[in-house]
Amino acid sequence: MPVHPSRREFLQATGGVAAVLAAGMVISVTPARATSAAMDEAVRRVVGPARVGKGRVKLELPPLSENGNTVPLTVSVESPMTPAEYVKAIHVFTELNPQPEVASFRLGPRAGRARVATRIRLATTQTVTAVTELSDGSFWSDTAAVVVTLAACLEDA
């Protein structure tokens, strides 16, 4: 029985550890990258001191966009949309555009369904955040990362 591990065994063992470490690093780095100071400030202006929870809102964007000048965006919120419980507003922010605000949609129980869609500009590869305000005063958010190959804001008129 060999005392020292073979080269293959050694690489398998250490490689596995390295992969676990790398995965851990990616997971720990993502939340930090998902916000920029400008975007945090913009979100604070809308939300105030309230806590923003994760979930209930779903932000849909293509993971890869060839043209940052027009990127389709859909936001939907789980809500019965009754006069007692409805979505008051949906706000969209970007972390790396010149201005973090993208749009604020004001809804009410007469919307029937809390779902809005539009097309946005993205200056570069970045994370987009949607924040929703419910009638009970709570805030919820979702984020989506988009890789942009042709940036908006750079081409000539």
- Per CB under 8 A, residues contacting other proteins are 69-71, 94, 97-99, 101-108, 110-113, 115-122, 153, 156-157
Answer for the pair 86, 134: CB distance below 8 angstroms, yes or no.
Answer: yes
75 bridge partner residues: 59, 116
Q: How far is the CB of 103 from other proteins (least distance, A)?
A: 5
| Tokens describing residue 28 | 């720990």
Nearer CB in complex with other proteins: 59/116: 116
Nearer CB in complex with other proteins: 19/153: 153
As a whole number of angstroms, the distance between CA 70 and CA 66 comes to 9
Q: How far is the CB of 55 from other proteins (least distance, A)?
A: 22
Q: How far is the CB of 138 from other proteins (least distance, A)?
A: 21
6 SS3 class: coil
